[in-house]
Amino acid sequence: MAVLPLILAGPILRRVEPRLVTIWMAFSEPQHVELHLWSEIIKTQKTSTVYEPEIPPDYTATADTQRIGTHFHIAFITLNIEAPKLPLVQNLVYCYNVRFTDTNSSTLRDLKSEGLFADQNNPVTSHFSNMAIGFKEGQLPSFSLPPANIEDLIIMHGSCRKMHGIGKDGLASMDFLIGSYINEPNKRPHQLFLTGDQIYADDVPMMVLPWLSRQGKALFGDDFEEKITVTNSKTANGTLTNFPPNLRRTVTTESAKFSSDDSDSHLITFHEFVALYLFSFSNRLWPTELTNIKEDISDSAMDTIFNDLMSMIDDSANDMRDFLMNAEEKEMFNGTSNEKRNKWEKKMKRMFRKELKNVIEFRDNLPRVYRILANVPVYMMLDDHEITDDWYMTRDWRDKVLSHPLGVNIIRNGLMAYTLFQGWGNDPKSFESGDKATLLTQIKQVAAPGSSEGPSTTVANSIDALLGFDGNDPKIKLHFNVPTGPTTTYVLDTRTMRTFETRHGSPGLLSAAALLQQLPTTPPPLGAEVVFIVSPAPVLGLAVFEELIQPLISAIKSNVYADTEAWALNYAVFESFLATIQKLKKVVILSGDVHFGLTTVMDYFKGADKTRIVQLVSSALKNESDKVGNQHILISGRLQQLQSAAYFPSERLGWKNKVVNVNGPISPRNEMRRHKNPVVLSPQGWFPGSTVTPNADWSWRLDIVADVRPDTDTVGARPEKIRIDTIDPDINLASAPSVKQGYEKVVARHQLAFEDNIARRVVWSSNVGMVRIKKDAGKLSVEHQFWYRLPDDDLYEEPNCYTQHVASLEPTSDTPPQLS
C-alpha cells in the first residue's frame, strides 16, 4: 500500500464571519484537532517541534475528524464565537494554528511539525515542494475580515482550473497579492470566489489518472472495493483493470450517455474524484513518480511510462471489453501490433508530451496555491466539469443520463466529492441538521467501517433521492449567500434547479422557483450600496449578442460563442432574471466558465426606475485556448475594436402579458418574436415609419468595457512591460522609408498583442480577477483588474495587472432605448 502523508490537504480557510471561522483539513489517520486563533500577527523563532505560543490564543475550537475511508478523514473545525465573547472585527489581521493528536496515541503535531512553516525545495526539480504557509518563515497563516468600508473591500474571483490546461496557473498569481500585503488588513484580499470548474472530471491527463486511481484506492483501503454499476445487469469493481486510462470514452458515452468530447480518461469512481480534488488543492498526495518528472524527460523514460499506460489497456478485463471498446478499438487492441494501433500510439505520445508540459506548470505552482487557500476565506460553486461536460445541458440529456445506471453512478460520485471539498465549507451551519446532515451521514456509509465493498443499494438510493435523480428539484440546495463587508454576496446554483421548455432547447438556468429561492426580492438595506451575485455562467456575456454574431460563429469554428447553455439563449428566463435583480439598483455579477475575461455594463429601465448591472467575467484560471485554428484571431486587439464598434451597445425593448402591435413593415424575425411572451425586440433595424404599441414595459442597453489606460510613462498607465509604442503621426507619405517605418510599427504592435494575449477588452490569458469598489464625489464605480503572467514569464515571475476595466455603478443619465 502507498505510504500516505498524515496531512493530505489543508488547512483551507472556508466561511469566515465575525462570529464564525471554519477550517477544512484532510488526514490519512483519525485525529483530534484544535484550532488556535490570535488577534495579531504571530511569528515563532523557537526551534521546538510544534509551535509553542508565548501568547495564549484569543479563541479556540476543537473537532474530531470524520471518517470517509480507512485513510481519508476530514477535519471540519468550526469556531463559533458566542456572547459574551467579543466577535472578530475588521481592520485586523488574525493568525491561526492547527494542532492535532492521533486518536490512537498521545502524539501532538501541528502545522509546524509537519513542515508547513518553512520553505522546502525538491532537489530533483529545483522548485519549491513547500512554501512557508504564513508567507514568511515561522509565521502563522492569517486572514482579515471584509472591511466595513466598501472602498477597502478586495474580492478575488476565477474559474476553470484544468490540471493540463494551457497557460500559467492564474490562481497562483494571488500568492503575490497576499504576500505583498500580508500584514496590512485592508490591502490584502478578503474573499476568494471560485466560480466553477475547480476540477475537470471529464478531462484528466492520461499520465495522472492511474495515480488518482492508485492513491484514491489507498485512501479507502486495500480491503475495500468500490462497486460501479455499469448497466442494470453489469456491476464491476472500480479498478484500472476494469476502467483503464485512455479507454473510457466508449463506456461514458454509450453506457453513461455523457456527451464530453474529451472523456478518454473521465473520472468514474468516488475515490478518483476524491484524489483529483486532493491533487488540485495540495501536492502532498502526489507520488514521487509525478513530483520528480521533468519536462525534458528522455524518450526512453517517456516510453517506460507510456508502455505502462498501454499495458493497462492490454490487460483490461475481458468481461468489460464490450463496454470499454467500440469495434475500431477492439481491432486496435486485439493483442497484436497493427497499423491503426501504431498510428494511435504516436498520436497519444504527442499528446503525452503536450500534457506533461502543462501538468508540470500546474504541479510546480501547487505550493503557492496551497498557502493561498490557507490565507483567504474561499467560497466555491460548481459548474459542469466537476461532474462532466454539459451536465444537465438539456432535458433530453438529463433524462437519458438519469435513466442509465452508470450515468447516475458517476454524477453521484461527483456530487459526493463536491459536497466534501466545496459545498460543506460554503455554509457549514446548513450541514448541522436536515437533508444536508443526512447526506453527510450517507456519504460516510459508502465505505463504512468493516465493509468490504460499497456503496450498498440502500445508501446509493438514499443519496440519489437527496440529489434529485428522480427529475424533481433536489432536496440538497447548493446555493448560498455570505456577508461581504457591508453588503451580501448571493451565490447561485445554475446547474441543478433548471427549467426546460423543450427536450432539446437551451435551458433556463434557474426555474421560477429557483429565482425566488436564490435571489433577494427587495432592495438591500441602507448602507449596502452594492449587491454581489455569483453566477457560474456569465449573465451578460458575449452570448447576449448571439443574433448579431452568427456570421462569426460560422466563420470561426470554435465553442467560444457556441454556448447552448448561455443565459441569453433562453430569453424568457433571462428577462425574468433581469426583472428580479433590477430592484437591487446597483448589482455586480461575478462569473467564469467561458475561458476569457470580460467586463460588460447594462442599464435597465423600467418606468422611472433605472438599475446599473455590471458583469465581471474572470476565466480561465488555467485553460487558455490553444493558438491553433482561426478562432484565435479573436485575440487581435484590432478585431476586438471592430467587433465592439459593430455589436455594442446592444439594446432591447420588452413587454410581458401584452399584445404588441406593429404599424408598418416588420422583419420575419421580429414578427415571430412579437407573438412570444415575453416579447423582446431590438429597437434597431426597423423600416422607416414603423411604430410599435403599446410602449415597452422595460428596456435595456448593454455595452462592453475596455482598458483605457495609456501606454505612457505616467501614473495610471499600463505596465511598462506591455506598453506598445505609439505610431509617429508625422509619417511622411511621400517618403518610402517613412511609410515603411510606419507599417513596421503597426505590424509590431499587433504581433506583440497577439503573442502576449494582451487586449484591452477580452482577456485570453489565464487570469484571476480582482474586484474593488471606488467612490469619487459620492459616485460609485467598480474596478476589475485581471492579474496574470505573460507567456514567456518564468515560474517565479511576479504577475501584474495587465488589463483593467472600470465601470460606473451609477444609473445612467441617458434616455432609454427607442425604436429606430
Strand order from edge to edge, sheet including 586-591: 480-484, 487-491, 531-534, 586-591, 609-617, 598-606, 698-704, 650-655, 679-681
Provide the H-helix boundaries in 155-208: 174-179
> Residue 351 carries which side chain, given as an amino acid letter?
M
For the chain, state the CA radius of gyration.
27
Would 543 be classed as within a structural domain? yes
All residues at 6 or more sequence positions from 94 whose CB lies less than 8 Å from its CB, including other chains: 21, 37, 38, 39, 88, 142, 143, 144, 145
All residues at 6 or more sequence positions from 814 whose CB lies less than 8 Å from its CB, including other chains: 603, 701
**579 to 117, 158, 352, 518, 629: CA distances (angstroms):** 50, 26, 49, 14, 39
All residues at 6 or more sequence positions from 299 whose CB lies less than 8 Å from its CB, including other chains: none
Query: What per-residue confidence (pLDDT) applies to 470?
Result: 84
Would 568 be classed as within a structural domain? yes
All residues at 6 or more sequence positions from 382 whose CB lies less than 8 Å from its CB, including other chains: 196, 197, 198, 418, 422, 423, 478, 495, 536
Sign of CA dihedral 59, 60, 66, 72: positive
**572/678 Cα distance (integer angstroms):** 6
Per the structure block, which three cell numbers stand in for 259? Answer: 456527451
**Cross-strand bridge partners of residue 225:** 453
pLDDT in tens, 617-671: 999 999 998 754 444 545 555 445 545 554 557 999 999 999 999 999 988 888 9
Would 540 be classed as within a structural domain? yes
For the chain, what's the residue count? 820
**569 to 538, 561, 563, 739: CA distances (angstroms):** 12, 11, 9, 47
Would 721 be classed as within a structural domain? no
Instruction: Find the Cα–Cα–Cα–Cα dihedral 179, 180, 183, 188, rounded to 10°.
Output: -80
DSSP 8-state class, residue 289: H
Q: Is the peptide bond before 649 cis (omega within 30 degrees of 0)?
A: yes
Query: What per-residue confidence (pLDDT) applies to 560?
Result: 35
Query: What per-residue confidence (pLDDT) applies to 566?
Result: 87
Q: What's the total number of domains in the chain? A: 1
**0.75 exceeded by pTM:** yes
> Residue 710 carries which side chain, given as an amino acid letter?
P
**DSSP three-state, residue 346:** helix
Would 726 be classed as within a structural domain? no
**178/183 Cα distance (integer angstroms):** 9
Query: What per-residue confidence (pLDDT) applies to 750?
Result: 54
- Helix then strand count (H, E) for the chain reads 20, 31
**600/116 Cα distance (integer angstroms):** 41
Could you tell me the residue range of the domain that residue 486 belongs to?
A: 482-708+760-808
Would 94 be classed as within a structural domain? no
SS3 track for 454-514? ECCHHHHHHHHHHCCCCCCCCCCCCCEEEEECCEEEEECCCCCCCECCCCCCCCECCCHHH
Q: What are phi and psi of 268, to 5 degrees?
A: -130, -45
Q: Which helix (H) or strand (E) holds 669?
A: helix 668-673
Q: Is 533 left (phi over 0), alpha (psi -120 to 50) or beta?
A: beta
**77/98 Cα distance (integer angstroms):** 9
Q: Which helix (H) or strand (E) holds 79?
A: strand 72-80
Would 684 be classed as within a structural domain? yes
Q: Which helix (H) or strand (E) holds 442?
A: helix 434-444
Contact assessment for residue 178 and residue 374, using Cβ atoms and an 8 Å cutoff: no
**622/635 Cα distance (integer angstroms):** 17
**7 to 10, 14, 27, 351: CA distances (angstroms):** 7, 17, 5, 33
Q: What are phi and psi of 800, to 5 degrees?
A: -150, 165
Residue numbers in the chain where pLDDT is lower than 70: 1, 45, 543-563, 627-648, 726-733, 738-757
Query: What per-residue confidence (pLDDT) applies to 297?
Result: 87
Would 704 be classed as within a structural domain? yes
Residue closest to 219 by CA, chosen among 161, 281, 279, 268: 279
Burial of 548 (0-12, 13-18, 19+ CB in 10 A): middle
DSSP 8-state class, residue 408: H
**520 to 37, 303, 766: CA distances (angstroms):** 34, 57, 32
**185/537 Cα distance (integer angstroms):** 31
Contact assessment for residue 339 and residue 442, using Cβ atoms and an 8 Å cutoff: no
